Chain A
Amino acid sequence: AQSVTQLDSHVSVSEGTPVLLRCNYSSSYSPSLFWYVQHPNKGLQLLLKYTSAATLVKGINGFEAEFKKSETSFHLTKPSAHMSDAAEYFCVVYTGRRALTFGSGTRLQVQP
């Protein structure tokens, strides 16, 4: 069975500093992985997805993630945090039959 574990429930950074949100996956085969962001009172928005192509995936708003098979990780990074990045972030894995399984979420707080 496919699953993801988000290692931090809450991350706080200062504006302008790098962001690292950690996600490990468990899968019996090469997984398809996603990062979604949820802003308060807004729908989920796709940041990026990995589907067995390039291991370094670039997404929207300056985010990127690297698929590392040896570490079973798919961490989300951004070089410089912006106040508007404050939100809930979900690491997600495709579990077959078109279904997704969400991680527990990481709340990103950006301090001025």
Chain B
Amino acid sequence: GAVVSQHPSRVICKSGTSVKIECRSLDFQATTMFWYRQFPKQSLMLMATSNEGSKATYEQGVEKDKFLINHASLTLSTLTVTSAHPEDSSFYICSAYTGDYGYTFGSGTRLTVV
């Protein structure tokens, strides 16, 4: 089946630095990818939708200058958290649309900003 590889699984960074999270579709082409954020013991909140070759569409309340999304190829989407602060600490999950109401999810990245 379709697999999305997400890296890193865990990252700790200092406040003020930037962190990049990668999601790769391993055996299919992902024209549409999604980025979610999940706080402890809470649900997934959609942050943005990215279509290959286009600018990402951000959900209301998500700072596009802080959470930079690039989807330059059909197999790679990246989320860069710029000038990270402790409140950005969270679990970030990517997902790819595989067609016919099908979605595959990455295993997530736990970001801790100290």
Q: Are B105 and A97 in contact (CB under 8 A)?
A: no
- Residues 45 to 88 of chain A near chain B (Cβ within 8 Å): 46, 49, 51
Q: From known contacts A97-B49, A98-B49, A98-B97, infer whether A103 and B105 are also in contact, taking CB-CB under 8 Å.
A: no
Interface residues on A, range: 20 to 34
Q: Are A90 and B43 in contact (CB under 8 A)?
A: yes
Q: Does B44 contact A (CB under 8 A)?
A: yes
Chain B interface, >50% SS class: strand
Q: Does B111 contact A (CB under 8 A)?
A: no
Q: Are A103 and B34 in contact (CB under 8 A)?
A: no
Q: Are B103 and A46 in contact (CB under 8 A)?
A: yes
Q: From known contacts A43-B106, A99-B34, infer whether A51 and B101 are also in contact, taking CB-CB under 8 Å.
A: yes
Q: Are A100 and B42 in contact (CB under 8 A)?
A: no
Q: Are A49 and B101 in contact (CB under 8 A)?
A: yes
> How far is B46's CA from A46's CA once the two chains are assembled, in angstroms?
17
Q: Does A24 contact B (CB under 8 A)?
A: no
Q: List B residues at the A interface (Cβ < 8 Å).
A: 32, 34, 36, 41-46, 49, 93, 95, 97, 101-103, 105-108
Q: List A residues at the B interface (Cβ < 8 Å).
A: 32, 34, 42-44, 46, 49, 51, 90, 94, 97-105, 107
